[in-house]
C-alpha cells in the first residue's frame, strides 16, 4: 500500500476519463431510450389493446402434489392515453388484484379526459398493495396524515374507522352542489349505498365513498354432476327431492342451506367410489366454503348463516350483544356451519378464496361458496380442469322454525374514498365522474370488474357477459354487512378467533359464542358505543330487527 | 493543534453513528416508553390521555396475555432445543471430510437465505391437508390423514422454524469444531480417550462459547418471530399459536391501541433482557 502513490495529475486525468465515459454513455443511452420510446408510442387516435395479467397460484392435486403458477390474461381495449402530457399526478391506492390492475388501465385515459373536462391534465397512478397488507399500509399512511394517496379503496368495514379519525372526506357538501353527482347517487342499488358508502350504515347524512368494486358470495357448482341421470336418481331415492338442475331451481326457488348440506353429504365420496359413472382415483368432497382464520374469512360465510337463521351480530342501535350473537339461533347457525366440515376437503379450516378455487379447479369438489371477484379463474381452461362444467348461482336461504324463508348473504366489495389530507379533492371527484361514465363502466364490466350501477347491472348485456354476472346481479338486493364501526377490527378478530376455535373442535360452539359475546360486550362498553359516536348520527335501519322479521334491508 | 486534533478527531468520527443511534433507536424507545403510560389510538386522531400504569395493570392482569407468554415460551423452548440438536448433528456430520461436503453445506444453509414471509407461505402449501406434500408423505408412511395446521399447529410452526434455523446452529457449532487445534485431537487419539471423554475434555470446552452465543442469538430471535407464524397459521386455530409478537402487532396496527401496544412491547422487552442476563450469567458460571 505504501508504494501505491498516485500523482495529482494522474488522479485528475483518471477522473476526467471516467466523467467523459459516463457522459457519453448517458447521451447514447438517452438517445436510445428516446428512440425506443418513440417507436412504442401509439399515434393519436390509434386504438391500443392492453392486457391485464392475473397470476394464479394453483395447487394441482394428485399423487405427486405440485404447485403451479399460471397466468390468466384478460384483454380490454382503450384509446391512446399519451396525447396529453400530465400536469399533475395523483395516487390511487388499491388492493393488488384484477380489479386494481383493471382500474389502472381504465385510469390511463383520464389524463386526456381531465384536460378536456376540467382544464388540467391529471394522471392517476395506481399504488397496488397486496390484500394482506393494505389495511396496515393505508391506516398507517392516513394516521401520518399523508397527502397521498388522494384516492383509496377502503373495504366496507373500514369506513367508520377512517371517517371518524378524520382521514377520509365527507362528500355530502360536494354532492349537494353538484347535480351530476346527485344523479349518480341515484344509480346505485340501495344496499350498496347502505353498506359501501355511508357511516353509520345507511345514514345518508354521511356519504363517505362511492361504490367501486361490487362483490358478493356466490355458489359455483359442477353442472355435470348435478344433471347426471344416475346421480339425480340416487339422490332423489335417498333424500326424497330433486337435485337443483337449472338456475331457477336455485334462484328464485327457495333452496335451503340444509338441502345444500344434503347435497354436500351426497357428493362426498372416497377414492374408488363411483361418481357420475366414473371410478374416483382420489377422495371427492361435497362443499368448500371459507373457514380460514385469515382476516374476515369466517365472518362473511358465518354472517350469511347467522342471517339466514334469523340473527344478527348485535343491535346496531344500542350496541347490545347478548341475546344476539349468543342466541339459540346463532348457536344453531354455528352448529350448522361446523357440520359442513364433514363434507369439506381436509384443509377445511384453511380454506379462503384461493383454496376454495384450487379444490374446484382440481375437480375435487361439487360446490364452492366464494367471492364473485375470484371466480373468473374457474372458467380458464389453462387453470381449471372443470372450466366447462361449472355454473354459478346465487346462494340459498333458510326457512326457520317461524316459517319465514330468509335469503341473505354477507356482502364483499369496496368503495373508493377521498383522502381528507389530499390537496387534490377536486381532481379526485373528477376521476369519480370519469369512472362512472358509461364507456368506462362498460370497460370495467368487460374486464371482469364488479359494476355497482344498477341500470347497467340489470341489463341483459351485463347479465350475460360472464358466467357469474347473472348470479351477481340477482344477489345484490339481499346483501348484508357486519359492523363498519371504528372498532370493527377488534370485533372481527374476536369472531375469527372464537369461531375458528369452535370449528377446530377446541371449544364447544355454544361456549365459543358466549365467549364471543363477552369479548364483544367488553369492546362495546370500553368504546362507549353508541354514546361516544352520537355526533355521526345512527344507522338508518335496525338491520337486526329486519333480519329477525325476515325483511329486506335495502 | 496536534493535541486537540488527537483528542477531538475520534469524537468527530463517531458523531454520525451516535446521532443515528440517538435519533433512530434511543429517542423512539423513550418516546414509546412515554406512550405506554397513555391511552392513545393513533388512528382516531384524538390527543393521548395520561393513564399512568393502567395499561401495564390491565395487561399483566389479563389471562389472555399470560396465555400468549406460555405459547411463546413453548415455541421458543421447543424450536431452539430441536435446532440445537439437529444443528449439532449436522455440524458433526460436516466436520468429517467427504466428497461433495462444500456443496452439501451450501445446500443445507440455503433456508437461511429465504425470506421469512416466503418460508411461511410455502410451508402453508407443504402442510396443506388436501394437497400438501408433508400431509401426503405422512399419510403414506403412517396410514393416517394428518391435518398439521388443524390438529398439530404448534408442531407445524416449530418444524418450520427448525427447517429454517437449524443450519444457523450448525454453522456456529461447525466453526467451533473447526477451531479445535489439531494437536489436541491427535493427543486425544494417542491417549486413547473414549468418545465421551474426548467430547467432554477436548471438544466441548472449545465449542462451548460458540454454542452459548448461538443459543443466545436463536433464543432472542425466536422470541420475536412474527412473519413466519403469521403467514403460516395467523396464530390459529383460534389463538393456539398466537405468540406475543403477533399480539403486539394486532394491538398496535389492527386495533390501534397504541399506548397499550407500547406497554406490552416494553413488558416483552424487559422479560427478554432478564432471560438474556440469566442466560449469560449461567454461561459465564459454566
Torsion sign across C-alpha atoms B118, B119, B121, B122:
positive
A435 and A291 co-located in one domain = no
SS3 sequence of A121-179: CEEEEEEEECHHHHHHHHHHHHHCCCCCCCEEECCHHHHHHHHHCCCECCCHHHHHHCH
Q: Is A21 among the domain residues?
A: no
Percentage of the residues of chain A whose pLDDT score is greater than 90: 79
Give the DSSP H or E segment for A385. Answer: none
Look at strands A278-279 and A414-418 and give their pairing.
Answer: unpaired
**Residue whose C-alpha is closest to residue B213's, from B164, B175, B245:** B175
Interface test with B, best of A130, A139, A419, A497 (most B CBs within 10 A): A497
The answer to whether residue A2 scores a pLDDT higher than 60 is: no
From B131, B233, B253, residue closest to A65, measured CB to CB: B131
With CB atoms and an 8 Å threshold, state whether B237 touches A347.
Answer: no
Q: pLDDT exceeding 90 applies to what percent of chain B?
A: 62
Contact A146, A422 (CB under 8 A): no
For B254, which of A345, A489, A501 is closest by C-beta distance? A489
> In this structure, are A253 and A397 located in the same domain?
yes
Q: Does A419 touch chain B (CB under 8 A)?
A: no
pLDDT recorded at residue A38: 42
Does A501 contact chain B (CB < 8 Å)? yes
Determine the distance in angstroms separating the CA of B130 from the nearest CA of chain A, rounded to an integer: 5
Cβ-defined contact of B45 to A350 (cutoff 8 Å): no
Q: What percent of chain A has pLDDT over 70?
A: 85
Confidence class for position A10, pLDDT limits 50, 70, 90: low
Asked whether residue A531 is domain-assigned, the answer is no
Which residue bears the cell 475434555? B201
Cβ of A504 within 8 Å of Cβ of B125? The answer is no
Residue A293 has its nearest CB partner, among B130, B145, B237, at B237
Least CA distance to B124: which residue of chain A? A350
Whole-angstrom Cα distance, residue A294 to residue B121? 13
**How many CB atoms lie under 10 A from the CB of residue B12?**
9
- Judge contact between A181 and A175, C-beta under 8 A: yes
Cβ <8 Å between A358 and B235 = no
Q: What's the gap between Cα B127 and its chain centre?
A: 22
CB contact under 8 A, B43 and A362: no
Which of A136, A350, A364 shows the shortest C-beta gap to B128?
A: A350
* Furthest C-alpha separation in chain A: 100
Query: ipTM exceeding 0.85?
Result: no
The C-alpha of B251 sits at a distance from chain A's nearest C-alpha, in angstroms, of: 9
Task: Report the chain A residue with the minimal C-alpha distance to residue B235.
Answer: A293
Give the whole-angstrom CA distance, residue A310 versus residue A257: 13
Q: Are A368 and A359 in contact (CB under 8 A)?
A: yes
Lookup result for grid cell 391506492: A93
Give the mean model confidence (pLDDT) for residues A170-193. Answer: 91
Give one DSSP letter per residue of A468-515, joined into a string: THHHHHHHGGGEE----STTHHHHHHHHHHHHHHHHHTSS-HHHHHHH
CB A214 within 8 A of CB A472: yes
Grid cell 394464479 — which residue? A56
Query: A193-221, pLDDT tens digit by residue?
Result: 999 999 999 999 999 999 999 999 999 99
- For chain B, the C-alpha Rg in angstroms (whole number) is 24
Quickly name the fold that domain B55-285 has. Answer: MetI-like fold (1.10.3720)
SS3 content of chain B, % helix, strand, coil (to 5): 80, 0, 20
Q: Considering chain A, what is the average pLDDT of its residues?
A: 87
- Nearest-CA distance B228 → chain A (Å): 14
In angstroms, the separation between the Cα of residue B81 and the nearest Cα of chain A is 27
pLDDT in tens, A352-379: 999 999 999 999 999 999 999 999 999 9
Same domain for A387 and A254?
yes
Portion 71-100 of A in contact with B at CB < 8 A: none
State the Cα–Cα distance between residues B61 and B70, nearest whole angstrom.
15
Q: Does A503 touch chain B (CB under 8 A)?
A: yes
> Omega before B146 cis (within 30°)?
no
A347, A364, A511, A512: best mutation site toward chain B, by most B Cβ within 10 Å?
Answer: A347
| Residues B150, B153: Cα–Cα separation, whole Å | 6
Q: Residue A326: inside a domain, yes or no? A: yes
User: Do A370 and A357 meet the contact criterion of CB atoms below 8 Å apart?
Assistant: yes
Asked if B234's CB is within 8 angstroms of A350's CB, the reply is no
- What would the mean pLDDT of A443-461 be, rounded to a whole number? 92
Residues A231 and A261 in one domain: yes
Are A90 and A123 in contact, with CB atoms under 8 Å apart? yes
Residue A366 lies in a domain: yes
- Residues listed for chain B: 286
Asked if A197 contacts A162 with a C-beta cutoff of 8 angstroms, the reply is no
Partner-chain residue, chosen from A165, A501, A506, that has the shortest CB–CB distance to B45: A165
* Structural domain for A298, as ranges: 217-410+487-526
Convert the pLDDT of each residue in A493-534 to its tens digit.
999 999 999 999 999 999 999 999 999 999 999 999 999 999
Interhelix angle A299-308/A488-504, rounded to 10 degrees, is 80
pLDDT at A44 over 70: no
The lowest-confidence range among A79-83, A240-244, A424-428, B269-273 is: A79-83
Candidates B145, B237, B247, B261: best to mutate against A (most CBs of A within 10 A) is: B237
Alpha carbons A52 and A107: distance in angstroms, whole number = 13
Given this model, what pLDDT does residue A23 score? 59
Q: Do the domain assignments include residue A23?
A: no
- Specify whether the CB–CB gap between A324 and A297 falls below 8 A: no
- Structural domain count of chain A: 2
> Is A486 in contact with B44 (Cβ distance < 8 A)?
yes
Beta strand ranges found along A237-348 (DSSP E): 274-275, 278-279, 285-289
Question: Which residues in chain B are closer than 8 Å to A63, comparing Cβ atoms?
Answer: 136
> B43 CA to chain A: closest CA distance, Å?
5
Residue B249's SS3 state is helix
Question: Is residue A18 over pLDDT 60?
Answer: no
Which chain A residues are closer than 8 Å to B233 by Cβ?
Answer: 293
Mutate: best of B122, B125, B130, B145, partner A, most A CBs <10 A: B130
Shared domain for A416 and A406, answered yes or no, is: no
CB contact under 8 A, B240 and A507: no
Residue whose C-alpha is closest to residue A491's, from A335, A319, A330: A319
Contact between B149 and A350 using a beta-carbon 8 Å cutoff: yes
How far is residue A246's CA from residue A388's CA, in Å, rounded to a whole number? 16
Is residue A286 less than 8 Å (CB to CB) from chain B? no
CB B198 within 8 A of CB B188: yes
- For residues A308 and A325, is the Cβ–Cβ distance under 8 A? no
How confident is the model over B73-98, as pLDDT tens digits? 999 999 999 999 999 999 999 998 88
Sort out which chain A residues have CB atoms less than 8 A from B234's CB and list them. Answer: 292-294
Is residue A276 located within the same domain as residue A173?
A: no
Tell me if the pTM is above 0.95.
no
Compute CA B111 distance to the chain's CA centroid, rounded to the nearest angstrom.
Answer: 15
Burial per residue of A421-460, b for 16 or more beta-carbon CB atoms within 10 angstroms, e otherwise: bbebbebbbbbbbbbbeeebbbbbbbbbbbbbbbebbebe
pLDDT number for residue A370: 97
| Cell numbers at A330, concatenated | 346463532
Q: What is the largest CA-CA distance in chain B?
A: 83
For residue A220, the Cα-to-chain-centroid distance in whole angstroms is 16
Least confident of A309-323, B37-51, B71-85, B148-162: B37-51
The CATH number covering residue A179 comes to 3.40.190.10
Query: Grid coordinates in use for A396?
Result: 340459498
Q: Which residues contact A481 (CB under 8 A, 6 or more apart)?
A: A156, A157, A194, A195, A201, A303, A410, A411
Is the backbone peptide bond immediately before A154 cis, with ω within 30 degrees of 0?
no
pLDDT band at B2 (very low <50, low <70, confident <90, very high): low
Least CB–CB distance from B131: residue in A59, A161, A294: A59
Residues of A whose CB is below 8 A from B250: 493
Q: Are residues A405 and A423 in the same domain?
A: no
Q: How many CB atoms lie within 10 A of CB A234?
A: 13
* Among B139, B160, B156, residue whose Cα is nearest residue B148: B156
In what helix (H) or strand (E) does residue A2 lie, and over which residues does it extend?
Answer: none
For residues A230 and A202, state if they share a domain: no
Q: Is A132 domain-assigned?
A: yes
Cβ of residue A509 closer than 8 Å to a chain B Cβ? no
Q: How far apart, in whole angstroms, are the C-alpha atoms of residue B15 and residue A297?
A: 51
A389 interfaces chain B, CB cutoff of 8 Å: no
Q: Do A332 and A460 sit in the same domain of this protein?
A: no
Q: Which of B133, B150, B238 sits opposite A497 (nearest CB)?
A: B238
Contact indicator for A305, A513 with CB cutoff of 8 Å: no
3-state class of A37 per DSSP?
helix
- A203 plus A221 within the same structural domain: no
User: Which DSSP string do the residues of B19-70 spell out, in sequence order?
Assistant: HHHIIIIIHHHHHHHHHTTEE--TTTTPPPEE-TTHHHHHHHT-HHHHHHHH
| Per-residue DSSP letter, A378 | G
Convert the pLDDT of each residue in B174-228 to its tens digit. Answer: 999 998 888 888 888 888 888 889 888 888 888 888 898 899 889 989 999 999 9
Average pLDDT over residues A63-76: 41
Of the residues A62, A167, A293, the best mutation for testing chain B's interface (the one with the most B CB atoms within 10 Å of its CB) is A293
* Triad B57, B60, B62: Cα angle to 5°: 105
Flag whether A198 is in a domain. Answer: yes
Contacts of A362 in chain B (CB under 8 A): 131
Is the dihedral angle over the CA atoms B235, B28, B277, B111 positive or is it negative?
positive
Q: What is the mean pLDDT of residues B231-246?
A: 92
Residues of B in contact with A348 (CB under 8 A): 129, 150
| A262 lies in the same domain as A347 | yes
For residue B255, which residues of chain A lie inside 8 Å, CB to CB?
Answer: 487, 489-490, 493
CA dist A217 and A394 (Å) reads 8
* Least confident piece of the model among A17-31, A321-335, A421-435: A17-31
Examine residue A201 and state whether it is found in any structural domain, yes or no: yes
Interface contact A139, partner B, CB < 8 A: yes
Residues A500 and A460 occupy one common structural domain: no
Instruction: Measure B46 CA to nearest chain A CA, in Å.
Output: 8
For the beta carbon of residue B60, count every other beta carbon within 10 angstroms: 13
Report A:479-498 residues touching B (Cβ under 8 A).
Answer: 486-487, 489-490, 493, 496-498
Grid coordinates in use for A133? 397488507
| Banded model confidence at residue A100, pLDDT cuts 50, 70, 90 | very high
Amino acid at each position: 500500500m505504501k508504494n501505491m502513490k498516485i500523482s495529482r495529475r494522474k488522479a485528475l486525468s483518471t477522473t476526467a476519463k471516467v466523467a467523459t465515459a459516463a457522459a457519453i454513455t448517458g447521451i447514447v443511452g438517452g438517445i436510445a431510450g428516446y428512440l425506443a420510446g418513440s417507436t412504442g408510442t401509439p399515434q393519436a387516435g390509434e386504438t391500443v389493446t392492453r392486457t391485464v395479467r392475473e397470476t394464479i397460484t394453483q395447487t394441482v392435486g394428485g399423487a405427486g402434489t405440485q404447485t403451479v403458477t399460471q397466468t390468466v390474461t384478460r384483454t380490454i381495449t382503450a384509446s391512446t392515453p399519451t396525447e396529453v402530457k400530465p400536469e399533475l399526478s395523483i395516487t390511487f391506492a388499491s388492493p393488488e388484484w384484477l380489479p386494481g390492475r383493471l382500474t389502472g388501465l381504465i385510469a390511463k385515459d383520464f389524463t386526456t379526459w381531465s384536460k378536456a373536462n376540467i382544464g388540467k391534465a391529471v394522471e392517476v397512478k395506481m399504488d397496488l398493495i397486496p390484500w394482506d397488507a393494505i389495511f396496515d399500509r393505508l391506516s398507517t399512511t392516513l394516521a401520518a396524515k399523508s397527502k397521498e394517496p388522494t384516492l383509496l379503496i377502503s373495504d366496507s368495514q373500514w369506513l367508520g374507522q377512517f371517517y371518524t379519525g378524520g382521514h377520509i372526506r365527507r362528500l355530502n357538501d360536494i354532492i349537494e352542489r353538484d347535480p351530476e353527482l346527485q344523479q349518480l347517487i341515484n344509480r346505485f342499488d340501495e344496499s350498496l349505498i347502505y353498506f359501501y358508502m355511508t357511516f353509520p350504515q345507511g345514514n345518508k347524512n354521511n356519504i363517505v365513498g362511492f361504490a367501486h368494486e361490487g362483490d358478493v358470495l356466490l355458489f359455483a357448482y359442477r353442472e355435470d354432476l348435478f344433471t347426471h341421470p344416475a346421480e339425480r336418481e340416487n339422490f332423489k331415492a335417498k333424500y326424497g327431492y330433486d337435485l337443483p338442475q337449472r338456475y331457477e331451481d336455485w334462484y328464485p326457488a327457495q333452496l335451503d342451506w340444509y338441502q345444500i348440506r344434503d347435497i354436500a353429504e351426497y357428493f362426498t365420496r372416497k377414492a374408488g367410489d363411483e361418481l357420475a359413472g366414473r371410478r374416483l382415483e382420489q377422495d371427492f368432497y361435497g362443499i368448500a366454503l371459507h373457514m380460514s382464520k385469515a382476516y374476515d374469512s369466517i365472518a362473511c360465510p358465518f354472517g350469511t348463516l347467522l342471517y339466514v337463521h334469523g340473527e344478527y351480530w348485535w343491535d346496531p342501535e344500542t350496541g347490545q350483544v347478548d341475546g344476539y350473537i349468543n342466541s339459540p339461533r346463532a348457536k344453531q347457525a354455528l352448529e350448522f356451519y361446523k357440520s359442513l366440515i364433514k363434507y369439506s376437503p381436509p384443509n377445511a379450516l384453511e380454506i379462503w378464496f384461493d383454496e376454495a378455487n384450487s379444490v374446484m379447479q382440481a375437480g375435487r369438489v361439487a360446490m364452492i361458496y366464494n367471492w364473485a371477484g375470484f371466480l373468473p379463474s374457474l372458467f380458464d381452461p389453462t387453470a381449471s380442469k372443470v372450466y366447462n362444467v361449472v355454473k354459478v348461482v346465487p346462494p340459498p336461504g333458510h326457512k326457520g322454525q317461524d316459517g319465514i324463508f330468509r335469503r341473505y348473504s354477507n356482502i364483499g366489495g369496496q368503495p373508493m374514498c377521498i383522502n381528507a389530507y389530499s390537496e387534490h379533492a377536486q381532481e379526485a371527484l373528477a376521476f369519480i365522474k370519469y369512472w362512472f361514465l358509461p364507456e368506462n363502466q362498460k370497460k370495467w364490466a368487460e374486464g371482469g370488474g364488479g359494476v355497482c350501477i344498477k341500470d347497467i347491472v340489470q341489463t341483459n348485456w351485463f347479465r350475460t357477459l360472464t358466467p357469474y354476472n347473472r348470479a351477481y346481479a340477482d344477489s345484490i338486493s339481499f346483501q348484508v354487512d357486519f359492523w363498519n364501526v371504528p372498532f370493527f377490527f377488534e370485533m372481527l378478530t374476536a369472531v375469527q378467533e372464537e369461531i375458528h376455535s369452535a370449528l377446530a373442535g377446541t371449544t364447544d360452539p355454544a361456549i365459543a359464542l358466549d365467549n364471543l359475546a363477552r369479548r364483544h360486550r367488553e369492546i362495546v362498553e370500553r368504546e362507549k358505543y353508541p354514546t361516544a359516536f352520537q355526533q355521526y348520527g345512527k344507522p338508518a335501519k335496525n338491520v337486526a330487527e329486519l333480519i329477525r322479521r325476515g325483511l329486506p334491508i335495502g | 493543534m496536534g493535541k486537540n486534533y488527537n483528542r477531538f478527531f475520534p469524537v468527530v468520527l463517531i458523531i454520525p453513528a451516535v446521532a443515528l443511534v440517538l435519533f433512530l433507536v434511543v429517542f423512539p424507545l423513550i418516546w414509546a416508553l412515554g406512550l405506554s403510560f397513555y391511552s392513545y389510538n393513533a388512528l382516531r386522531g384524538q390527543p393521548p390521555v395520561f393513564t399512568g400504569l393502567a395499561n401495564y395493570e390491565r395487561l399483566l392482569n389479563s389471562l389472555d396475555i399470560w396465555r400468549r407468554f406460555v405459547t411463546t415460551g413453548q415455541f421458543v423452548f421447543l424450536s431452539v432445543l430441536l435446532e440445537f440438536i439437529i444443528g449439532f448433528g449436522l455440524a458433526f456430520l460436516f466436520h468429517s471430510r467427504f466428497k461433495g461436503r462444500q456443496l452439501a453445506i451450501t445446500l443445507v444453509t440455503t433456508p437461511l437465505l429465504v425470506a421469512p414471509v416466503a418460508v411461511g407461505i410455502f410451508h402453508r402449501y407443504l402442510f396443506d391437508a388436501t394437497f400438501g406434500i408433508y400431509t401426503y408423505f405422512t399419510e403414506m408412511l403412517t396410514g393416517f390423514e394428518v391435518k398439521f395446521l388443524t390438529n398439530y399447529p404448534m408442531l407445524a410452526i416449530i418444524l418450520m422454524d427448525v427447517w429454517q434455523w437449524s443450519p444457523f446452529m450448525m454453522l456456529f457449532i461447525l466453526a467451533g469444531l473447526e477451531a479445535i487445534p489439531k494437536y489436541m485431537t491427535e493427543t486425544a487419539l494417542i491417549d486413547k480417550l473414549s468418545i465421551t471423554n474426548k467430547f467432554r475434555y477436548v471438544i466441548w470446552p472449545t465449542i462451548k462459547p460458540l454454542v452459548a452465543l448461538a443459543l443466545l442469538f436463536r433464543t432472542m430471535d425466536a422470541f420475536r418471530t412474527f412473519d413466519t407464524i403469521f403467514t403460516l397459521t395467523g396464530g390459529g386455530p383460534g389463538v393456539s399459536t398466537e405468540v406475543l409478537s403477533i399480539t403486539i402487532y394486532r394491538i398496535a396496527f389492527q386495533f390501534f391501541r397504541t399506548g397499550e401496544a407500547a406497554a406490552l412491547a416494553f413488558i416483552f422487552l424487559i422479560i427478554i433482557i432478564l432471560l438474556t442476563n440469566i442466560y449469560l450469567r449461567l454461561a459465564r458460571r459454566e
